[in-house]
Amino acid sequence: MFTKATSLVHHWISAHVRRGDLVLDATCGNGHDTLLLASLVGEHGRVVALDIQPQAVASTRQKLETANLLDRCSLHCLSHADAADVLPVGTLLDCAIFNLGYLPGGDKSVITQPDSSLLAHEAVVERLAPGGVVLSTVYTGHEGGQEEADSLLAWSARLPSSQFSVARHEWINQSGKPPFVMVISHRGSR
Ligand SMILES: C[S@@+](CC[C@H](N)C(=O)[O-])C[C@H]1O[C@@H](n2cnc3c(N)ncnc32)[C@H](O)[C@@H]1O
């Protein structure tokens, strides 16, 4: 369970997200994370899911439809830098997840970018509810990945510690460049 970023993130999401929550999947890809989020928020919760690739949004939609969970989700073909435009007005996020990089099995030239990833993280942290969390899986093995990681780490290290806790989970005995998971937690109570 703790050997891969995706399974670790799913474990943490499952422990954190409650029925009725508002959550954001900022890079929905093939919809694996969106599907889990949709099952956790229940019928009165809401999942907002974004991707810039129409086929990713279509694939996520298909997964949700098959699982009969589409009614609690809003899907948008949109950059996460513009997430604030589609979040319900006046609401705060209980959880947001980013799975950066490119879509496995998809177009490897469509990759999350340092500038838009940073803008998106800034916007999401601004909308985070007390006790809310942002879980970001960050890859450094592709071109631009290290730059994206460096900019997110530098920015998150400057978040006020009175309001947020920032942690990084990394795998230190693997070959190559495994991803790491950055966890930003709002210190307030839920
Ligand atoms: C690693 S994949 C996500 C995998 C996904 N979480 C899943 O469960 O299948 C990264 C995704 O980020 C998307 N992406 C790239 N730039 C983006 C942006 N600016 N805003 C939203 N999504 C973006 C890509 O199209 C790709 O589908």
- Residues 23-69 have pLDDT tens digits of 999 999 999 999 999 999 999 999 999 999 999 999 999 999 999 99
Task: Tell me whether residue 133 is in a domain.
Answer: no
Task: Tell me whether residue 179 is in a domain.
Answer: yes
The string of pLDDT tens digits covering residues 147-168 is: 999 999 999 999 999 999 999 9
> Best mutation site among 52, 97, 148 for ligand 1, i.e. most ligand atoms within 8 A of its Cβ?
52
Task: Tell me whether residue 136 is in a domain.
Answer: no
pLDDT at 106: 86
Task: Tell me whether residue 99 is in a domain.
Answer: yes
Task: Tell me whether residue 80 is in a domain.
Answer: yes
Task: Tell me whether residue 137 is in a domain.
Answer: no
- Residue from 121, 159, 124 nearest 138 by CA: 121
- DSSP assigned state of 145: H
CA of 99 to the centre of ligand 1 (A): 6
Q: Residue 170 — pLDDT band, cuts 50, 70, 90?
A: very high
Whole-Å CA distances, 42 to 17, 28, 71? 10, 19, 10
Is residue 149 within 8 A of residue 114, CB to CB? The reply is no
Task: Give the chain's domain count.
Answer: 1
- DSSP assigned state of 75: E
- Domain that residue 13 falls in: 5-127+145-186
- pTM for the model stands at 0.97
Q: How far apart are CA 4 and CA 112, in angstroms?
A: 20
Task: Tell me whether residue 139 is in a domain.
Answer: no
Task: Tell me whether residue 112 is in a domain.
Answer: yes
Is residue 16 within 8 A of residue 8, CB to CB? The reply is no
Domain CATH number, residue 158: 3.40.50.150
